[in-house]
Each structure stands twice: as structure tokens, then as C-alpha cells.
Chains A and B, each alone.
Chain A
Amino acid sequence: MKKTVVKFFQILAVFSLLFLAACSGSAIDSSSSSGNKEEEGDSKDPVKLGFILSLTGNFASMGTPVKEGIELFFEENPEIDGRKVELIFEDDAGDPQAALRKYEQLTLNQGVNIVGGGTVGSIALALRDKVDADKKVPLINVVGSTDVMSWEKKSDYVWRTSFSAWQYASISGKFTAEGVGKNAVIIASDYVAGHEIVTDFIPSFEEGGGKVSDIVWAPLGTSDFSSYLTQIDKANPEAVFMFIPGADGSRFIQQYQSFGLQDKYTLVEGGSLLNAPFNIKAVGNAVVGGKMITNYFPELENEVNEKFVKAYQAKFNKIPDNYVVNGYDTGKLISQVVKEAGSLDGEKLVSVLKKGVTIDSPRGPIEMDPVTHTLIQNMYVIEGKEMNGEITFELIKTYENIEMPKENVGYKKY
């Protein structure tokens, strides 16, 4: 009898240990230690920041750099206004449902003050609905670019440190008409973001006098683009506007070169792909001559950026991409807002954001637009060049302070 009881307790103990391990194991705590110990007596509460990012799975190539950017910023600035910063990273693996669970965990169990996340549009929208219903902690949307977040789906508690599809696509359209040619073919990935980009591209391109002669939709996961390339070739345009993110895009650029289209038609890219380090590594000089619309590139000349690139390279030994900057600026924005609010109360934080916040970003000065909750930022056009076997990017045009329209412009949907 005694033995069975002991055994039972042993099993129970093992189970509870396992349970505890499972609970704590899912959170990757990396609370940054503040340098001096005297702070301990300070009465100010620490800031708890929870981030729900896609750190594994399909979108890890976007979520991981965001995390790196956030870590870098808070390593440089371990305290906000005398408060210690505690960072908690959670992985949603690209799944909106998982992201919602992690959100509950962060707000209920961990009691975080601000949440960051939304590596892809679907997750950003799912989190947005939840945060808007709760009205407890503000959400900083780190990547999700869907336009409705600035319009119908705007929430007092949701703010975006990345960019919107409209900002990229309308500038792409404008630049293509002004700087490349009036006759263009569009090739885009056949999914939500692809359709949104095309919807925003066409009106601004047509406004500049351009005409789209063909739109090619490539399914996600297309490996051989040769049929599409002959279709583009047949249309004989001046410009080819592409929006094909990820590995598909790299393959497209490479095949675009091998079919001899690189020398015939100017490639305009609207998805921050051309200068992505992984893409350059994969396709090399196939990006030469291609033009890209972006809100950031590492060669950008300003003081903040020089320091940022150096610090990032020292810590991670690679070149930062756009997503790292999104993460870095998220940290910067949060720290500024907390400082100005002087409190960790959700309502007070939101009221600071509503007044409009300006920060010095590696991408140049940016301002949080109190109306659209999206950054007012510069858009850059850069071109791929090859010098001594090295691929570099040269700034060819800057569109300053691009602001989202205040309300849905109601373009015809493609």
C-alpha cells in the first residue's frame, strides 16, 4: 500500500515537473540585465514587452530578423526612462491561431505592457481584432502590410512600424511611369498580398500615363517561370513590375536573366527582394540593372544608419535587411512612447501615439501618422550594380515622406 502511494507521488511529481517545463520552455525569456545594481531600489516598474513572431516555419526569414532588430535595440538601450526592460519572445510558426494563444498567454499570465507581432498579414489581422476587442495593451504591428489596417481595420490600440502595401505599390507605379517606361507587364504571386500590390500599383502607374499591357499571376510555389517569361517577352514591354516574395522570387529573377530578358526590359521590384542578402547570395548578378522600391537599404547614408549597420554587423556578423530595421524601430518607438507617457497604462500609451511620435530611424526620419496609424516615411528607389565582382545598390531616387491616404481610396480590385 505504502509503496503504491510513493509511486503515485513519484509519477505525479514527474508530471508536474514536465508540465512546468512545458510552460516555461515555450517562452524564450531574455530579460536584459541593466548595467548598474543601484537601480534595484528604484520604485519604477519594469517594462514587460511581449513579441509574437514567426520564428520557425515558412515565414521565419521575416520573423527572425525582426527579433534580431528588437534585441539589438534593447541591448543598446537596456532601460527606458529608468525602467528595466524585459523581453519575451514567442513563436507563432506562421499560424494566426497560435499567435492568438500566445497573445492570451502574454497578456494574462505574463502581464506584458505592450505586444509586438504580426509577421504576416493574416496574423496581424487576427491579433488586431483581439487587441481591439480587449483594449488593454497596445499592439505594434511589425511587418503585416495590408492596407485595411490603416483604414477600415484601424484601431486605437494598433500601430504599424513597417509599411503598407499602398506605400510600396503606389510609389512603384509612380516611379515606373516616370523613370522607366509607359508600357509595363506585371507579374505577381497569386495570393492576397500580390493582389493588393497590383490593385495599388495600377492606378498610380496609369496616373503617370502608363499602360499595363498584361498581368501575369504566378501561383505560390512556382518553380519554373519559363512560360510566364515567354508571355512577358511576347508583350514586349518597357518595364516588368514584379511582386514575387521569397524563394519563388529568387527563381524568377534568375530565370529572367537566363532567358535574356534582363537586357531587354527593365525589372522593377516592389517587394524588398532584390537587395535581400539571401537573394543576392542565390542569384548574384541577375539583380544588376533591376530597380527596387524600398523603405530601407543598408547603404543608406545617414548617421543613425551607419551606427546601426556597424552595431548589427558586430553582433550578428551579417548585413541587416528591411525586417531588422522594422524590429529596431519597433524598439525605438516603444521606448519613446513609454518615456513620453511616463506610465505603462495602455490608455496613456495610446494617447501618446495619437499625438504623433517622430523617431530617428536608420531609414531616415519617420513619423507615426495619428490618422492612419502607419509610418510616414521615405521610399527609395535603388538599382543593382556590379563593381569588381561585388553586387552593390545605388540610390537613384528618393520619394520623401510618403503618407497613406487618410481613407480607403477605393481602387478597382484585381
Chain B
Amino acid sequence: MDLFIVNTLSGLTYGMLLFLMASGLSIVFGLMRIINLAHGSFFLFGSYVAYAMISRGMNFWLALLLSTICVTVLALLLEKFLISRFHGNEASQVLLTLGLIFVIGDITLWIWGGDFLSIPVPSILDFSFAISESSFPIYRLFVIAIGIICAVLLWYFETKTKVGMIIRAGVDDMEMVGALGFNIKLIFSAVFLFGAALAAIGGVLSGPILGMYPKMEFEILVNSLVIVLIGGLGSWKGAFIGAILIGIIDSFGKIYLPDVSVLLIFVVMVIVLMFKPTGLFGRVES
């Protein structure tokens, strides 16, 4: 029984990290029709920046805040000067953001080197609690909590606020929203930055769990893309459910089907897409 609980919690932890990454990816796609492959780089860059600050003695929470701001600024520059030039041209966007992965990856390699690095767990959360005979680190519970809080905030934001309403309308028909007098460019930028900030938070939080090293962005990006596909393009709710699903499957797959555990998430993706080609929460394009 305790094995079951510990694995469920582990799966949820991994799932929540992926959710923070995938929700931004999904929302940005839903609104802007941009497949921002460089989203994984935001995740990794966030954790590297936080590492740089924390290893110089800065407090974890302050570093979390500052590195999120750093990544947001980076995202702002990329959006303003590069990505916004290619609206509506999907092939160029994919190539551009794919190129950005390599550029940002090489910059991090240049600054922080190729070694495996990790962020120490903040001391206030650095203990484990016992589940009968097993123990579980409290930090991971904290990550689950943050993931759920983010999901609740997203829900509130989307359904109860005016900005959320505009964005929902924008997903349906961006041109119409523009015609009603809203500043589309501003909305695009804001959503893009918000997604980047979520990825950065995910990156920093994953620092003490997954650590960081060059090429990690690809690992996390592939899983996130799977989640976006399972959940449905443009839906953060889909990303939430998809992330939990992938996290749990990954965690239990390693134990019960170790030989195929690497394949398992793709099998799930194929099955979901067979029955719901638009993903769990995706809309059918009219």
C-alpha cells in the first residue's frame, strides 16, 4: 500500500513539473498558433539562472522570483524581436524556435559548462515524512501543491476575469477580438510572457529534483509535447490532466513494465489520439 502511495505521489510530482511546462506551451499555441519549441529552453534557463543565484548564497525564494523575471525578460525580447515577425507562418516559426533551442542551449553550455548541476532543496522543506515504512521528501509534496495552486489560479483567471474572457474569445476568433478594439499584440505578448514565466517556475522547482545539464530541454520538451497532444491543443485543463496521466504512467510503468517504460507514454498518446484525435479537451476546428 505504501508503495502505491509513494509512487502515486512521485508520479504527481513529475506530472506537476511537466504541467507547469506544458500549460504555457498549450495556451500559447491555442491563442497564437505558435508551436514554441524554445519553451523547453525557458524551463532549463530558469533553473540555470536560479542555480547561479543560489550558489552565490541567495535565498531560494528570492532566486525563484528573480529567475522567473529574468526568463520573462528573455521571452519578451525573443517575442518582440524575433517571433512576432513570423505570425501566421508556421514553418518559419518552428524553424526559428528550433534554432533558438540550440542558441540558448549553447549559451547555457558556455556559461555553466556541461556538468550535471543541481539546486539544493530549500532548508525549510528539506526533510522527509514517513508513509508506514517508506519515506517521502516534503519538497516533492510542495511541488505538487504549487502545481495545483497554479491550476486553480489558471481556472480562476480564465473563467472569472475579464482578461480571461478576452483570451477565451481570442482562442475562438482572434480577428474578431481585434475588431472589437482590443490590442491583439499586447494580448499575444502578455500570454507569451505568462507561459514563459510558468515554464521558468517549473524549471526552478525541478532544480532540486531533476537537476540540469545540457540537452535536458529536449527531454522535457518531448514529454510536454506528448502532454499537449493528449490534453488537446490550446487547453490548459487538458495539459493538467495529461500531465498527471503521464506522470503516473511513468512512475508505475517503471515498476510494473520496466522493459517498455520508455515507450509507454507514447503508447498512451497513440491510444488517446485514436479515440479522440483532438485530444481530451481539444475542440474540433470548424
Contact = CB atoms under 8 A, between A and B. Distances in A.
Contacts of A259: 128, 134-137
Contacts of A227: 7, 10, 250-252, 254-255
A278 B114 CA distance: 10
Contact of A283 (B118, B136, B252): B118
A284 interface: yes
Interface in A256-277: 258-260
B256 to A, nearest CB: 9
Contacts of A216: 258
B210 interface: yes
Contacts of B116: 246-247, 250-251, 278-279, 282
Contacts of A282: 115-118, 211
Q: Which size bracket describes the interface of B in this complex? A: 35 or more
Contact of A226 (B7, B114, B115, B117): B7
Q: Which of B116, B117, B258 has the most CB of A within 10 A?
A: B116
B211 A258 contact: no
Given A219-B261, A279-B116, A226 B213 contact: no
Nearest to A279: B116
Contacts of A221: 219
Contacts of B117: 281-282
Contact of A233 (B134, B137, B139, B211): B134
A223 B44 CA distance: 14
A59 B114 CA distance: 10
Interface in A224-263: 224, 226-228, 230-231, 233-234, 246-247, 250-251, 254-255, 258-260
Nearest to B253: A227
Nearest to A284: B120
A217 interface: yes
A32 interface: no
Interface string B133-148: 1111101100000000
A255 B252 CA distance: 17
A217 B139 CA distance: 26
A260 B211 contact: no
Contacts of B7: 226-227, 230
B93 to A, nearest CB: 28
B251 A226 contact: yes
A221 B114 CA distance: 15
B134 A224 contact: no
Nearest to A283: B118
B48 interface: no
A129 B10 CA distance: 46
A129 to B, nearest CB: 30
A60 interface: yes
A217 B262 CA distance: 12
A350 to B, nearest CB: 37
Contact of A223 (B3, B6, B210, B258): B210
B154 to A, nearest CB: 24
Given A217-B258, A227-B254, A284-B120, A61 B136 contact: no
Contacts of B120: 284
B121 interface: yes
B47 to A, nearest CB: 12
A258 B128 contact: yes
A281 B210 contact: no
Given A224-B210, A251-B211, A260 B219 contact: no
Contacts of A250: 116, 118, 211
Nearest to B258: A217
Contacts of B258: 216-217
B122 to A, nearest CB: 12
A226 B6 contact: yes
A61 B251 contact: no
Interface in B4-28: 6-7, 10, 13-14
B213 A247 contact: yes
A230 B3 CA distance: 6
A250 B209 CA distance: 11
B134 A230 contact: yes
B133 to A, nearest CB: 7
A65 B128 CA distance: 38
B219 A223 contact: yes
A227 B209 CA distance: 14
A284 B216 CA distance: 21
Contacts of A255: 209
A246 B139 CA distance: 24
A231 B254 CA distance: 10
Contacts of B14: 224, 226
A227 B250 CA distance: 9
Given A250-B116, A281-B117, 18 more contacts: A219-B262, A223-B210, A224-B209, A230-B6, A230-B134, A231-B255, A233-B134, A247-B116, A250-B118, A251-B210, A258-B208, A259-B135, A260-B135, A278-B115, A282-B115, A282-B117, A283-B118, A284-B120
User: Which 9 pairs show the lowest CB-CB distances between chains A and B?
Assistant: A226-B10, A247-B116, A260-B135, A227-B254, A278-B115, A258-B137, A250-B116, A260-B128, A247-B213
Interface of B: 3, 6-7, 10, 13-14, 114-118, 120-121, 128, 133-137, 139-140, 208-211, 213, 216, 219, 250-252, 254-255, 258, 261-262
